Structure 1
Amino acid sequence: MWRQAGQLMLNLPLGIAGFVFTVVMLSVGLALAVTVIGLPLLAAGLSGCRSMGAFARTRARSVYGSGLHEPEPLHRPRPGITGYTTAHLTDALSWRSALYNVLRLPWGILSFTVTLVCVIVGWPVLPWVIRFGAAVDRMLLEALLAPGALSERVRELEDDRGTVVDTAAADLRRIERDLHDGAQARLVALAMDLGLAKERLRETESAEDVQAAARMVDNAHGEVKLALQELRDLARGIHPAVLTDRGLDAALSAVAARCTVPGGVKVHVELKAADGTVERPDSAVEGIAYFTVSELLTNVSKHSGARSATVDVWRADDQLMVLVQDDGKGGAAPYPGSGLGGLAERIQAVDGVFLVESPHGGPTTVTIELPWRTRTARR
């Protein structure tokens, strides 16, 4: 309470300084706008207002715990003084910071006076006065100094785009590596074996040569089967045919059957809408749900020490909900760079939610919320 009281009383000296700086710089800059130095001076004033706004956001976070996010750094369309001036004159946050500096003076006078009077003579109502003043202070900060909803959405989309690009590049590298180290190497060995067998058959002069050629062909046949199995596994890693043909229920059941948890994995999928109709989600959402559950069950098998696990999938309005639970040792966390962190980034790229509850000693519960239709599919 006393920290908030100090914040309200500091609004007056900070408001005076911000008001004087803003009025002087903007007035001089506008008055000299017809000259060479007018607009750059105005831009310098707006830059100072933006810096004061950053300081106000820092104070708000330290005192109120406010969730004010820092805006993106100011983007200059071109270098030099022209780019500097253009960037600040066209930046909405700079102008809103200037308005905040102007409005903070009358608000600072009011908040300083009321708080001081309550501290001296009205202390019985001081907690309520401070609570109300802090709420008004936060509203003013969030209305004028918080990044705009559009800029926040653009930043989210840029982050999501980067995540999708990185994920696609990693998948391409994995496919290339698997092809190079697996099926391609086996096919090269197969071609060599068949070439040797052909040469041996051409030079056949005895039964031993025929048997040697037959063994080469037999080895080549084994290599063909192994290469086909590796190609099938690779295709399943790209997009399993069972998911396309039969949907999430059959695909997740197949993943659960391959899981090595001793007690097995129980899968329950219910995709009925509120009106009773059964509809499949968007194919991209199906793919994300499938690969997420597949990787989660792989982690359960390798790291959790669980005896059993469950996978529940259902539809909630326009959301696809997935719940994966195991009775393992717990301690899982989606920290950056981890496998769970990568899953979280992939799900957030489609405006999904990824929550992990995994206390030490277990159990572990992973909740996933995905949109039933992606934005592209809705359009």
Structure 2
Amino acid sequence: MRKGTWMGTPERAGRELAYVLTLPLTAAAGLVYLLVVAMGVMGSASGLGLPLLALCVPGARGLGAANRRLARLAGAPVAGPAPLRLPAGLFNRLGTALGDAAGWRAIIHSLVRLPAAVLAFAAAGGLWGLGALLLTCPLWWQAALVPALRPAGWPGALTASAIGLVLLLAAPAGVHLALGPERMLARTLLGPAPAATRIRTLEETRALAVDDAAAALRRVERDLHDGTAARLLTLAMSLDMVREELAEAGRSPRLDRARALLEGAHHTAKESLAELTDLIRGIHPPALDNGLEVALTTLAARSPLTVALDADLPQRPSPAVETIAFYCTAELLANVAKHSGARRAEVQLRARDGRLRLRVSDDGDGGAAISPATGTGTGLRGLADRVRVVDGTLGLHSPPGGPTVVTVDLPLRA
């Protein structure tokens, strides 16, 4: 058997003993919190306890966070649940708070961990406390007995001291074993739910796939720009030079046919170069090389309307999110110019709490709507489908007579 697998290390024994010493305080805090929650539950029948309960359930996340940090001492590192995002509106916030699964799990942990805490504290007291008491038995035995009885009491004192030594040697393993239920409850109730863990894993995998796809498209764009487009440009210039040479070579039926063929080849090369340039810009707009704010400034300046840009980006989004936000803005401004009858538009961009919020409004006629899915991927429906790829949302408010406001909410990281 490897050294330290049964008795553990002194460091582990010290950490677990420190955890056990905090158990009375944390268990008492959890018990008090349970009483407050019980008051909210009893008062919720009349509706008066609902506000208290709506505060207690998300508030239990703080109690759970403290217990998670302490659980590291017991050898149970636990990942935290996803942060709680409260929606707009009083009733929406109330419903979200009351349904906070992480808060309820922390409350349940405070209830069911009481027997486990008692077990661990009793094991530590019995092994560490009683062991230390018995180990020092010869000292207090000698001080307590009258001198006439000391010779007869020494065998019992030494036996008790030996038992105390055995208890102290077994204390690290015994306390570690007694803390098993505590570790199990912390991992089960204080971390994210299994479904949430699976969702988070899928989100991380999807984010990696989106970023890899964006990087791959960026490489394709660079290869086309620096390779194929450059060669097409060189070909067009060479054909232009040949055309000039043929222009000075006089006239003959064969030269005329050669000129016609050359003109067609030159025209085809220029059209191919233009199409390739449009394709490259469609993959990755060059303006995004300097950031989303600079790209939107360029986009606003090229719009036929007066566009006011208000951007606040303390943190740069990931490339995939930047590309989506840019094309959403470009499509929305194009829609405003074509269909709304507006004279001016406003683009507002904010990065807060890990989210990127894009708001495009105009002073047009209103009446815009997101049409049902048609499979074409165009218009507002196409934009809604595009932002959904990264768990984004698109909201539209466009009453008849205007104004029209489109809000795009995206994660900063795909």
Give the TM-score normalised by structure 1.
0.50
Q: Where does residue 137 of structure 1 map in the other structure?
A: 182
State how far apart, in whole Å, the 2-side matches of 1:67 and 1:30 are: 32
More divergent stretch after superposition (196-205 vs 92-101): 196-205
Q: Where does residue 109 of structure 1 map in the other structure?
A: 118
Q: Where does residue 44 of structure 1 map in the other structure?
A: 55
How far the C-alpha of 1:180 sits from its partner, in A, is 1.7
State how far apart, in whole Å, the 1-side matches of 2:56 and 2:171 are: 37
Q: Where does residue 26 of structure 1 map in the other structure?
A: 37
Q: Which amino acid is the alignment partner of residue 69 of structure 1? A: A
Q: Secondary structure at the match of 1:172?
A: helix
Q: Which amino acid is the alignment partner of residue 113 of structure 1? A: A
Q: Where does residue 286 of structure 1 map in the other structure?
A: none
Q: Where does residue 16 of structure 2 map in the other structure?
A: 4
How far the C-alpha of 1:80 sits from its partner, in A, is 4.5
> Does 1:150 pair with 2:195?
yes
Question: Which of 99, 102, 126 pairs up with 2:108?
Answer: 99
State how far apart, in whole Å, the 1-side matches of 2:239 and 2:229 are: 15
Residues 26 and 45 of structure 1 are in contact (CA less than 8 Å); yes or no, is this contact kept in structure 2? yes
Q: Which amino acid is the alignment partner of residue 25 of structure 1? A: V
> Does 1:60 pair with 2:105?
no
Residues 57 and 141 of structure 1 are in contact (CA less than 8 Å); yes or no, is this contact kept in structure 2? yes
Residues 30 and 38 of structure 1 are in contact (CA less than 8 Å); yes or no, is this contact kept in structure 2? yes
Q: Deviations over 1:279-311 (max 9, x none)?
A: xxxxxxxxxxxxxxxxxxxxxxxxxxxxxxxxx
Q: Secondary structure at the match of 1:204?
A: coil
Question: Which of 73, 79, 82 pairs up with 2:88?
Answer: 79
> Does 1:196 pair with 2:241?
yes
Residues 11 and 107 of structure 1 are in contact (CA less than 8 Å); yes or no, is this contact kept in structure 2? no
How far the C-alpha of 1:36 sits from its partner, in A, is 4.9
How many residue pairs match? The answer is 212
Q: Where does residue 205 of structure 2 map in the other structure?
A: 160
State how far apart, in whole Å, the 1-side matches of 2:116 and 2:26 are: 11
State how far apart, in whole Å, the 1-side matches of 2:106 and 2:17 are: 23
Residues 117 and 182 of structure 2 are in contact (CA less than 8 Å); yes or no, is this contact kept in structure 1? no
State how far apart, in whole Å, the 2-side matches of 1:67 and 1:13 are: 20
State how far apart, in whole Å, the 2-side matches of 1:149 and 1:80 are: 30
Residues 50 and 93 of structure 1 are in contact (CA less than 8 Å); yes or no, is this contact kept in structure 2? yes
Q: Secondary structure at the match of 1:27?
A: helix
Q: Deviations over 1:104-151 (max 9, x none)?
A: 333323322332132222434322321212222211211221211211
State how far apart, in whole Å, the 1-side matches of 2:93 and 2:29 are: 24
Cα distance change, pair 7–81 in 1 and its aligned pair in 2 (3 A): farther
State how far apart, in whole Å, the 1-side matches of 2:29 and 2:76 are: 23
Q: Where does residue 224 of structure 2 map in the other structure?
A: 179
Q: Deviations over 1:320-345 (max 9, x none)?
A: xxxxxxxxxxxxxxxxxxxxxxxxxx
Give the TM-score normalised by structure 2.
0.46
Residues 4 and 130 of structure 1 are in contact (CA less than 8 Å); yes or no, is this contact kept in structure 2? yes
Gaps (5+ residues) in structure 2?
1-12, 132-166, 270-275, 277-414
Matches within 5 A, 1:186-225: 186-205=231-250
State how far apart, in whole Å, the 2-side matches of 1:64 and 1:116 are: 16
Identity %: 35
Cα distance change, pair 34–137 in 1 and its aligned pair in 2 (3 A): closer
State how far apart, in whole Å, the 2-side matches of 1:120 and 1:185 are: 81
Q: Secondary structure at the match of 1:9?
A: helix
Q: Which amino acid is the alignment partner of residue 14 of structure 1? A: T
How far the C-alpha of 1:162 sits from its partner, in A, is 1.5
How far the C-alpha of 1:187 sits from its partner, in A, is 0.8
State how far apart, in whole Å, the 1-side matches of 2:130 and 2:17 are: 15
> Does 1:70 pair with 2:80?
yes
State how far apart, in whole Å, the 2-side matches of 1:31 and 1:120 are: 41
Question: Which of 16, 37, 50 pairs up with 2:28?
Answer: 16
How far the C-alpha of 1:12 sits from its partner, in A, is 1.9
How far the C-alpha of 1:37 sits from its partner, in A, is 4.3
Q: Where does residue 234 of structure 1 map in the other structure?
A: none
State how far apart, in whole Å, the 2-side matches of 1:84 and 1:129 are: 46
Q: Deviations over 1:147-169 (max 9, x none)?
A: 11211111111112122112211
Q: Secondary structure at the match of 1:121?
A: helix
Residues 115 and 130 of structure 1 are in contact (CA less than 8 Å); yes or no, is this contact kept in structure 2? yes
Residues 57 and 68 of structure 1 are in contact (CA less than 8 Å); yes or no, is this contact kept in structure 2? yes
How far the C-alpha of 1:186 sits from its partner, in A, is 1.6
Q: Which amino acid is the alignment partner of residue 15 of structure 2? A: R
Q: Secondary structure at the match of 2:79?
A: coil
State how far apart, in whole Å, the 1-side matches of 2:245 and 2:173 are: 98
Residues 9 and 116 of structure 1 are in contact (CA less than 8 Å); yes or no, is this contact kept in structure 2? no
Q: Deviations over 1:43-102 (max 9, x none)?
A: 2111222211111111112x13423111111133x2244333222322222212111111
Larger Rg: 2
Residues 81 and 192 of structure 2 are in contact (CA less than 8 Å); yes or no, is this contact kept in structure 1? yes
Residues 46 and 94 of structure 1 are in contact (CA less than 8 Å); yes or no, is this contact kept in structure 2? yes
State how far apart, in whole Å, the 2-side matches of 1:103 and 1:145 are: 12
Q: Which amino acid is the alignment partner of residue 83 of structure 1? A: N
Question: Which of 172, 180, 190 pairs up with 1:127?
Answer: 172
Root-mean-square deviation (Å): 3.0
How far the C-alpha of 1:184 sits from its partner, in A, is 1.0
Residues 76 and 186 of structure 2 are in contact (CA less than 8 Å); yes or no, is this contact kept in structure 1? no
